[in-house]
């Protein structure tokens, strides 16, 4: 079965990449312009496989188009460059809202009561094989490659995190030897962030990274790809761990932007 899947994916990567898809990338995913020609070719192959294997569904009347599919797939696949990948194996469906959407929430309180409310969201990553995204926020996050806010990077980082089971900020590593330094550095940097937030000190990461270790990893992923030089300057060891995991060096790539 695995041999068949590999052969099918190799065939998919060799298919001609449609010119209209190239135009969508140029228009909606400016991050792609910083990639080398070899990286662009690799990315195009990943996009072909991703779109062949994942299903997209529009919500609240949104019609799914190639523009939506390619724009989301490209950003999800940027995280896969240079890595051995099974293309987010537990993910089956990407649900897309036209814009920021509201969900009902229930939050347990220390005294045992539950506070219910409504929360606006840009995206979610579910363990049941789904990612939820706001299309307007997908476009907004992709348009500025330097602001450190990218909902697709964020939610697909959660998908990577979940590949080994729990979503805990410790994704599946390519080598066993990487787990100990990863845990040491990310635990220390997460605690450092919590201390900075508690003391109201300025940080290089959004405060949302302090929510829990899983959100820390997802926010750091956004920063790593969109503000790599800042992350490298403020958190050099954290940057090195992300560089080893993603097998990319965006700080070097960003010099040419």
In this prediction, residue 165 carries a pLDDT of 86
pLDDT of residue 103: 85
Question: Per the CATH hierarchy, to which homologous superfamily does domain 1-164 belong?
Answer: Glucose-regulated metallo-peptidase M90, N-terminal domain (1.10.472.150)
Q: Tell me what the pLDDT averaged over the chain comes to.
A: 93
Task: Give start and end residues of each alpha helix (H) in the chain.
Answer: 2-14, 19-28, 37-53, 66-78, 135-143, 151-161, 179-198, 213-226, 228-234, 236-246, 250-253
Determine the pLDDT at residue 174: 87
CATH class as words, domain 168-257: alpha beta
CA distances from 182 to 79, 164, 220 (A): 18, 15, 13
Tell me the domain boundaries of the chain.
1-164, 168-257
Q: Is the pTM of the predicted complex or chain greater than 0.95?
A: no
Q: What is the pLDDT of residues 220-234, one digit of tens each?
A: 999 999 999 999 999
Percent of the chain topping pLDDT 90: 84
The pLDDT confidence band at residue 75, using thresholds 50, 70 and 90, is very high
Q: Could you tell me what percent of the chain has a pLDDT over 70?
A: 94
Question: Each residue of 86-136: pLDDT tens digit?
Answer: 999 999 999 999 999 988 876 766 666 666 777 888 999 987 789 999 999
């Amino acid at each position: 079965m695995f041999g068949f899947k590999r052969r099918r994916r190799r065939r998919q990567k060799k298919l001609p990449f449609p010119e209209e898809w190239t135009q969508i990338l140029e228009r909606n995913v400016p991050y792609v312009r910083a990639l080398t020609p070899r990286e662009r070719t690799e990315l195009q192959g990943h996009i072909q496989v991703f779109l062949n294997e994942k299903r997209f569904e529009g919500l609240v009347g949104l019609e799914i188009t190639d523009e939506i599919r390619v724009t989301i797939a490209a950003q999800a696949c940027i995280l896969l460059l240079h890595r051995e990948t099974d293309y987010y194996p537990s993910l089956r469906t990407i649900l897309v809202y036209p814009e920021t959407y509201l969900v009902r929430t229930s939050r347990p309180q220390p005294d045992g009561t539950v506070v219910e409310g409504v929360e606006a969201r840009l995206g979610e990553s579910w363990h049941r094989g789904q990612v939820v995204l706001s299309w307007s926020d997908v476009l907004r996050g992709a348009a500025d490659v330097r602001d450190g806010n990218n909902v697709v990077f964020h939610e697909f980082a959660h998908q990577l995190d979940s590949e080994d089971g729990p979503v805990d900020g410790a994704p599946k590593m390519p080598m066993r030897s990487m787990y100990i330094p990863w845990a040491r550095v990310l635990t220390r940097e997460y605690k450092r962030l919590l201390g900075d937030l508690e003391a109201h000190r300025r940080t290089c990461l959004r405060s949302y990274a302090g929510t829990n270790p899983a959100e820390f990893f997802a926010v750091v992923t956004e920063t790593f790809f969109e503000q790599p030089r800042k992350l490298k300057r403020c958190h050099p060891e954290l940057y090195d761990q992300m560089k080893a995991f993603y097998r990319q060096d965006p700080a070097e790539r960003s010099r040419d932007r």
